[in-house]
Amino acid sequence: MTVRHTPMPMKAAAPRGLITRIGATNPDADTYDDDRDIDWIAVERTANGDYNPALLNQAELRETAILLGRAGLRERAISSRLSVYERRIGEWLATAGLLPPERICSRDNCGHVSTGRGLCNSHLQLKRKHEKRAREAAQQTQNLEVAA
Ligand SMILES: [Zn+2]
């Protein structure tokens, strides 16, 4: 087992004690998830701003983001605290059900965070492609009418 703790210079004053100790109410709680490789102590300390997020794996970063989202932080704040793209934080919060319905893609059963016009990035690209094809078809029809 490797000890992953290194002292971390604080970039900005982060509110401490935001997240209560995981397993505080249950001293027998397991602080390590073998299946998903999650060190819950590292997650908790990162959420509270006294552990370097660069030392976390993706699963731990995701859980930290969800904890911070549940504590009321918005994507931008979580993004800068964890040094993870805001869009990815949004996806994590969306899959955890922490975003309001208007922030979720309006296509049926999509579930991804909406990036514009009520759609997620891939559905928005599809919509734009369809619109472009429709414009080109209309233009061709117009050209044929002029030529006739
Ligand atoms: Zn979508």
In this predicted structure, what is the pLDDT of residue 22? 62
CA 18 to ligand 1 center in whole angstroms = 32
Answer for the pair 64, 56: CB distance below 8 angstroms, yes or no: yes
CA 109 to ligand 1 center in whole angstroms = 8
Write the single-letter amino acid at 81: R
CA 79 to ligand 1 center in whole angstroms = 22
In this predicted structure, what is the pLDDT of residue 115? 86
Percent helix, percent strand, percent coil in the chain, to nearest 5: 50, 5, 45
In this predicted structure, what is the pLDDT of residue 144? 85
User: At 75, which helix (H) or strand (E)?
Assistant: helix 75-82
Mean pLDDT for each 10-residue chunk of the chain (148 residues)? 51 55 66 91 93 96 96 95 95 93 91 91 96 95 83
Ion ligand 1 — residues with CB under 5 Å?
105, 107, 110, 112, 120, 123
CA 93 to ligand 1 center in whole angstroms = 15
State the Cα angle at 50 between 44 and 55, rounded to 5°. Answer: 75
Cβ atoms within 10 Å of 129's Cβ, excluding its own: 10
Answer for the pair 75, 81: CB distance below 8 angstroms, yes or no: no
User: At 94, which helix (H) or strand (E)?
Assistant: helix 86-95
In this predicted structure, what is the pLDDT of residue 108? 87
CA 125 to ligand 1 center in whole angstroms = 10
pTM over 0.75: no
Answer for the pair 82, 46: CB distance below 8 angstroms, yes or no: yes
What stretches of 18-135 adopt beta strand conformation (E)? 32-33, 38-39
Q: What is the 3-state secondary structure (H, E, C) of 32-58?
A: EECCCCEEHHHHHHHHCCCCCHHHCCH
CA 67 to ligand 1 center in whole angstroms = 24
